[in-house]
């Protein structure tokens, strides 16, 4: 029987799975209760773009852990192939990858990582950000040919944490937005009265775009 390929959406609960990995057997999301998780997929082991991504994310791994976030990586390649590739990265680049690399075909179907019009046999470069409650809060897709930005994904996770904790939106490229810098966006007013109040209470360019200082400071 052919495995059904599903495509989870933002707001959905992340599909549960059990899988072998290069670190230990993973029972997701049970093993990561109370943590944020960034689940990545990559097309194949022993490929140049994927190798650069692994090196980049390993170098930033402590930055992710510092904000209660764990990394999980996946491709359809087998576990022994994963192990040999990670050994190769350490041998050739001096970088020891510490986060788990998952094996098994089920995850690709659960998370809609196989896009036939891109490639019918390998997973695309997918990114799923999953909150501590097991809910998908962000999804990103990249083509096979282009690597992901470590800095942008770390920035996104921090922004999502700010929104979850303080109920504030974040502007483009915060904390380096050219207009508002590290400030956060107050929810838009829902009534005429609130529009007047917000415009008086908060820094603003107009009533619909009010900001305040970073609440994390």
Domain-embedded: residue 59: yes
Give the span between the Cα atoms of 108 and 119, in whole angstroms. Answer: 13
Q: How many CB atoms lie within 10 A of CB 22?
A: 19
Angle at CA of residue 177, ends 173 and 182, nearest 5°: 95
My answer on whether 34 and 131 are in the same domain is: yes
Q: Do the Cβ atoms of 210 and 216 come closer than 8 Å?
A: no
Asked whether residue 125 falls in the same domain as residue 188, the answer is: no
| Domain membership of residue 212 as a residue range | 167-217
Number of folded domains that form the chain: 2
- Report the CATH number at residue 179: 3.30.1020.10
Q: Are residues 42 and 122 in the same domain?
A: yes
Catalytic residues: 50
- Which percentage of the chain shows pLDDT scores above 70? 94
Count CB atoms within 10 A of the CB of residue 30.
10
Answer yes or no: is 6 within a domain.
no
Contact assessment for residue 20 and residue 79, using Cβ atoms and an 8 Å cutoff: yes
Q: How confident is the model at residue 120 (pLDDT cuts 50, 70, 90)?
A: low
d(CA 164, CA 158) in angstroms, rounded, equals: 10
Q: What's the DSSP call for residue 187?
A: P
Q: Is the pLDDT of residue 197 over 50?
A: yes
For residues 127 and 172, membership in a common domain is answered with no
pLDDT 10s digits, 67-114: 999 999 998 899 999 999 999 999 999 999 999 999 988 898 899 888
Give the domain CATH number at 32: 3.40.30.10
Q: Phi and psi dihedrals of 31, rounded to 5?
A: -70, -15
pTM of structure: 0.91
**130-153 pLDDT, tens digit each:** 999 999 999 999 988 899 999 999
108 & 32 share domain: yes
- Indicate if 211 and 141 belong to the same structural domain: no
Domain assignment present for 162 = no
34 and 83 both lie in a single domain:
yes
């Amino acid at each position: 029987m052919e495995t059904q390929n599903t495509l989870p959406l933002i707001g959905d609960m992340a599909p549960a799975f059990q899988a072998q990995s290069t670190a230990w057997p993973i029972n997701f999301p049970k093993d990561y209760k109370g943590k944020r998780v960034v689940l990545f997929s990559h097309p194949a082991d022993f490929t140049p773009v994927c190798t650069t991504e692994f090196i980049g994310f390993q170098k930033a791994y402590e930055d992710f852990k510092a904000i209660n976030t764990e990394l999980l990586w996946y491709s359809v390649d087998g576990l022994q192939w994963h192990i040999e590739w990670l050994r190769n990265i350490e041998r050739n680049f001096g970088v020891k990858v510490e986060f788990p690399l998952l094996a098994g075909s089920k995850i690709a179907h659960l998370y809609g990582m196989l896009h036939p019009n891109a490639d019918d046999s390998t997973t695309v470069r997918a990114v799923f950000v999953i909150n501590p409650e097991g809910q998908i809060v962000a999804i990103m897709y990249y083509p096979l040919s282009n690597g992901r930005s470590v800095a942008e994904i770390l920035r996104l996770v921090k922004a999502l944490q700010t929104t979850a904790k303080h109920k504030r939106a974040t502007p483009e490229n915060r904390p380096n937005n050219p207009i508002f810098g590290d400030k956060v966006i107050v929810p838009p007013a829902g009534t005429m009265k609130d529009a007047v109040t917000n415009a008086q209470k908060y820094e603003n360019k107009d009533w619909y775009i009010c900001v305040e200082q970073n609440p994390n400071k």
